[in-house]
Amino acid sequence: MKALASLFISIAPGAFRILVVWLAAHLYTPQYAAPFTAMYLFATALCMISGGGFGLVLIRHSAGSNRKSKVIISLFLLITGAVTAVLMTVVTIPFLQFELLPFLGITTALSCWQIERHGWIAERKFMFLSLLDLLLVIILVLTLWTSKLSIVTALVSSHVVLITVSFLWRFRQTKSGGHPTVWSWSLIWSAIKIGGSTFIAGGFLMILPALVESMITPIILTKLSLMVTAVGALFVVPRSYLNLFIGSLAKVVRARKVDSRIVHTCVRRIHRLGLIMLIPAYLFVLFYLIVSGQQLTPHDLLLSMTVCSAMVIGQLYLVEGNLLILLQRENIALISSSVMFVVMLGLAWLLGQSIEHDYKFLIGLFTCLGLCYSVRWGVYLTILKPYFQKPQKTDKVTKS
């Protein structure tokens, strides 16, 4: 049951985004729905920094703490996360064509709810979080159905209500035992580094369709978009596995009792799940290519499979990056995310340069695929190396 609940809470954020976009498209005119959708999706991207970064810090520092420390750290990270979201909105709004107040409200509300969700994950209360995710959908739909509020106001107000209910409910469910934890301003810098790493790694997944859109034919672009969507949906499998033990792992890290077998087993199972993810991803692509009725060449088939493999690598890297952050290696996560992002820029450039030559196109794809594997393998070794060092032997002192 806990595994199913973990799978559900991994699916919930993506499903909620789809629901919001669908509601906007069906309740409003295209002139209103289109800019709202763009604003909403951009706000979810910014939440990788203000929500994801501060949320992972909450998991790492609330693990094993007593109730009072958890309340203080949660409030501190919720407030500073909201302030960070506001500052990011103010900085980015001059470069965008969005209205300030709606964009600010959505970004702040989404960021705070993402931080609060991480609090439940740290406590391993997956059933409660599943109920809260369902409650958010119910509140939003009822608000839009029974009132004349705009979708922006309904979205922000439903998040505010849910965050308040969740915060109070979470600490009624928290056990009073644990050790005291002192908050510090350095948590903000750690959260920004972690959020930056997550944002860049997320860019790894989003940069390919955006940059190659003007470089390739509409048929291949449709295939790419469907593959990205399919593999993105499959990503919840390793993510839900990580959720199952993320709180326990953070607790043993804080206690400095990390066993190499725990980390090694975790990474090995994530890799195994990644290989399993390839099978339904390939089957989806083959099914689409068959039912589309288009004349296919071996080049189309090889291109589809290669891009699928690259997307699986990117999805697994996001999971490994979260593991790296939990083990207090956020600097390495930030550097490796940046390297991965540069690799994807190189892939987009190679696609643009070699699209007219089949052999160059495939060479470029396989080269970047190999680079992605190399970066991931380097991250894997970085995670495991500190835990494979043998403890130094000390002389025993006995009383004579």
Assign 374 a pLDDT band (cuts: 50, 70, 90). low
Number of H helices, E strands in the chain: 14, 0
pLDDT at residue 160 greater than cutoff 90: yes
Between vectors from CA 190 to CA 121 and to CA 185, what angle results, nearest 5°?
A: 105
Tens-digit pLDDT profile for residues 352-367? 555 555 555 555 655 6
- Are 50 and 42 within 8 A, CB to CB? no
CB atoms within 10 A of CB 339: 16
Which positions ≥6 away from 371 have C-beta within 8 Å?
Answer: 343, 346
Regarding predicted confidence, which is higher, 400 or 183? 183
Assign 94 a pLDDT band (cuts: 50, 70, 90). confident
174-186 average pLDDT score: 70
Q: What's the pLDDT score for residue 162?
A: 93
Token pair for 101: 């107040």
Token pair for 143: 């608000």
- The mean-pLDDT minimum among 187-196, 206-215, 259-268, 381-390 falls in 206-215
Tell me, rounded to whole angstroms, the distance of Cα 83 from its chain centroid. 21
Q: What's the pLDDT score for residue 304?
A: 65
- Output the average pLDDT for the chain: 72
Regarding predicted confidence, which is higher, 115 or 357? 115
C-alpha to C-alpha distances, 129 to 126, 169, 182, nearest whole angstrom = 5, 11, 26
pLDDT at residue 2 greater than cutoff 90: no
Assign 107 a pLDDT band (cuts: 50, 70, 90). very high
- The mean-pLDDT minimum among 81-95, 96-110, 252-266 falls in 252-266
Query: By percentage, how much of the chain surpasses pLDDT 90?
Result: 13
Assign 209 a pLDDT band (cuts: 50, 70, 90). very low
Tens-digit pLDDT profile for residues 302-344? 666 666 666 666 666 667 777 777 676 767 767 777 776 676 6
Assign 113 a pLDDT band (cuts: 50, 70, 90). very high
Amino acid identity, position 11: I
What residues pair up with 65 in beta bridges, in sequence order? 179
- What is the Cβ-side half-sphere exposure of residue 272, based on CA atoms within 13 angstroms? 8
C-alpha to C-alpha distances, 397 to 159, 378, 394, nearest whole angstrom = 60, 41, 9
pLDDT at residue 289 greater than cutoff 50: yes
- Are 222 and 359 within 8 A, CB to CB? no
pLDDT at residue 211 greater than cutoff 50: no
With 0-12 / 13-18 / 19 or more C-beta atoms within 10 angstroms meaning exposed / middle / buried, residue 147 is exposed
Q: What's the pLDDT score for residue 87?
A: 92
pLDDT at residue 242 greater than cutoff 70: no
Q: What is the CA radius of gyration of the chain?
A: 22
**Residue the block writes with tokens 């993810």:** 277
CB atoms within 10 A of CB 89: 24
